[in-house]
């Protein structure tokens, strides 16, 4: 432990310098003005929004030294689903009503399910957002935190009404830039800590003994932390199919790199500083004991990531609602409905229950999207390619059925 303390200033400096370097790279005009990056920001905001802050303590508390394997399983499942979404962008959009009426009904039903899941996810993002801020100021009363969350959602509602989609997207871009810069700094500091302390890897145990089925059920309940790539399915008004397909793929690969690095690099942290209780801010408390500046950086990441993810899903849910219930009313009114639903949810469940509910909702949407893809695969592909594609879809559907019916929330303490 003495070595850790003596290197504290070094770790802090590395974290701050790396954050600044990543930030300077991301604010370059070439990056900001890139159409592909602009399309990638929304799905990336949603994927990294929840996952980066909550998935590490969740996985480490449930799986212990096997946490990296847990995130790999989730990411493989998510990437398979992402391929289905990209297939549907290419082939399912613009179908004629007469020849594809069943697919169109599935598409409409899947949009309804996704709209509900988005409303749930907005409640989660803002709940986590206020949890980090509240605990930073020593506020731990649940009712007080729910009121802060409600007021925050009302502020988002005000921005939605006043500035509409453009206002939300502008805030989202700024928030994603801050978040990615902070993530770069955190990863650099964690790598430095692990190298300097030479702590054993993959040696820590979960905080509670669970059966294999319970672990899988909890892992299934974390599916939401990999969600977000599907938002490109509904960005057709602003971007071409090719750009959206690339943006979806890029967002997933960036998220895969961040998640695997983060879960791997936190393994020594949770061995030196074991998790004693699991809540929304466990990650900040644990990493802060290793590198003192990380809670401050994570607070910035929490504010940026949860806000950007909430805005991304508010935009997605509002657009979906307008498609499902078309009218001459402004899109801003649909944003109000989404945020109103989120306010109801935050008074009805804790954060981990909301994660599980959202995971079930997104699993339902993905299941229906795979049904759409299955119908089109039979028409577009032949022979071995058709067989492999159908088999892959059936495996994904089996996994999603498990998520819908058997996933459970991790224990909140």
What would the DSSP string read from start to end of 125-185?
A: HHHHHHHHHHHHTT---HHHHHHHHHHHHHHHHHHHHHHHHHHHHHHHHHHHHHHHHHHHH
What would the mean pLDDT of 173-177 be, rounded to a whole number? 76
Per-residue confidence (pLDDT) for residue 244, from 0 to 100: 92
Check pLDDT > 80 for residue 318. no
Check pLDDT > 60 for residue 6. no
Gyration radius of the chain over CA positions: 21
Per-residue confidence (pLDDT) for residue 197, from 0 to 100: 80
User: Which has more confidence, 369 or 355?
Assistant: 369
Check pLDDT > 80 for residue 367. yes
Is the CB of residue 193 less than 8 Å from the CB of residue 268? Answer: yes
Q: Where residue 164 falls among pLDDT bands split at 50, 70, 90?
A: low
User: Which has more confidence, 177 or 315?
Assistant: 177
Per-residue confidence (pLDDT) for residue 97, from 0 to 100: 42
Q: Which CATH number does 2-117+166-306+354-406 carry?
A: 1.20.1740.10
Judged by average pLDDT, the poorest of 83-87, 110-114, 154-158 is 154-158
Check pLDDT > 70 for residue 218. yes
CA separation for the pair 20, 16 (Å, rounded)? 6
Per-residue confidence (pLDDT) for residue 209, from 0 to 100: 82
What would the mean pLDDT of 73-80 be, rounded to a whole number? 94
Check pLDDT > 70 for residue 279. no
Check pLDDT > 60 for residue 105. yes
Q: What is the mean pLDDT of the chain?
A: 80
CA separation for the pair 353, 288 (Å, rounded)? 26
What would the mean pLDDT of 261-274 be, rounded to a whole number? 84
Per-residue confidence (pLDDT) for residue 14, from 0 to 100: 87
Is the CB of residue 124 less than 8 Å from the CB of residue 46? Answer: no
Residues 6+ apart with CB under 8 A from 55: 71, 222, 225, 259, 262, 263
Check pLDDT > 60 for residue 382. yes
Per-residue confidence (pLDDT) for residue 413, from 0 to 100: 53
Per-residue confidence (pLDDT) for residue 98, from 0 to 100: 43
Per-residue confidence (pLDDT) for residue 71, from 0 to 100: 93
CA distances to 1, 155, 253, 263, 371 from 51, in Å: 29, 24, 14, 11, 27
Q: Which burial class, exposed, middle or buried, applies to 294 when counting CB atoms under 10 A from its CB (0-12, 13-18, 19+)?
A: buried
Per-residue confidence (pLDDT) for residue 393, from 0 to 100: 94
Output the six-digit token pair for 262. 């983060």
Per-residue confidence (pLDDT) for residue 362, from 0 to 100: 87
Q: Where residue 252 falls among pLDDT bands split at 50, 70, 90?
A: very high
User: Which has more confidence, 242 or 328?
Assistant: 242
CA separation for the pair 41, 21 (Å, rounded)? 19
Per-residue confidence (pLDDT) for residue 84, from 0 to 100: 93
CA distances to 17, 151, 192 from 189, in Å: 10, 34, 5
Check pLDDT > 80 for residue 43. yes
């Amino acid at each position: 432990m003495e070595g850790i303390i003596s290197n504290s200033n070094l770790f802090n400096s590395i974290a701050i310098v790396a954050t600044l370097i990543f930030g300077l790279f991301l604010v370059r005009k070439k990056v900001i003005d890139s159409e592909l990056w602009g399309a990638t920001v929304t799905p990336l905001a949603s994927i990294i929004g929840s996952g980066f802050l909550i998935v590490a303590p969740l996985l480490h508390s449930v799986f212990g030294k096997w946490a990296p394997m847990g995130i790999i399983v989730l990411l493989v499942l998510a990437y398979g689903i992402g391929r289905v979404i990209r297939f549907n962008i290419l082939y399912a959009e613009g179908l004629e009503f007469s020849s594809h009426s069943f697919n169109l009904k599935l598409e409409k039903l899947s949009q309804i399910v996704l709209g509900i899941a988005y409303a749930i996810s907005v409640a989660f993002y803002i709940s986590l957002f206020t949890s980090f801020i509240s605990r930073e100021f020593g506020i731990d009363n649940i009712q007080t935190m729910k009121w802060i969350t409600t007021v925050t959602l009302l502020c988002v509602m005000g921005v939605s009404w006043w500035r509409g989609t453009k206002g939300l997207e502008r805030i989202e871009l700024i928030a994603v830039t801050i978040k990615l810069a902070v993530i770069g700094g955190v990863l650099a500091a964690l790598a430095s800590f692990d190298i300097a302390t030479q702590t054993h890897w993959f040696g820590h145990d979960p905080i509670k003994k669970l059966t294999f089925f319970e672990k899988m059920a909890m892992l299934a309940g974390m599916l939401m932390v990999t969600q977000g790539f599907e938002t490109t399915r509904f960005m057709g008004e602003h971007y071409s199919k090719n750009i959206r397909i690339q943006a979806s793929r890029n967002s997933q690969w960036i998220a895969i790199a961040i998640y695997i690095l983060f879960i791997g690099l936190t393994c020594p942290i949770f061995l030196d500083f074991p998790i004693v209780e699991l809540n929304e801010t466990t990650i900040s408390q644990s990493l802060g004991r290793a590198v003192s500046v990380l809670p401050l950086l994570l607070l910035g990441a929490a504010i940026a990531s949860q806000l950007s993810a909430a805005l991304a899903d508010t935009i997605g849910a509002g657009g979906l609602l307008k498609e499902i219930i078309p009218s001459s009313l402004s899109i801003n009114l649909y944003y109000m409905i989404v945020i109103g639903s989120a306010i109801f949810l935050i008074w009805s469940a804790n954060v981990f229950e909301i994660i599980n509910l959202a995971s079930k909702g997104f699993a339902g949407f993905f299941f229906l999207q795979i049904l759409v893809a299955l119908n089109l695969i039979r028409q577009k592909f032949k022979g071995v390619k058709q067989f492999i594609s159908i088999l892959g879809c059936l495996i994904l559907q089996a996994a999603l059925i498990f998520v819908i019916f058997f996933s459970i929330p991790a224990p909140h303490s």
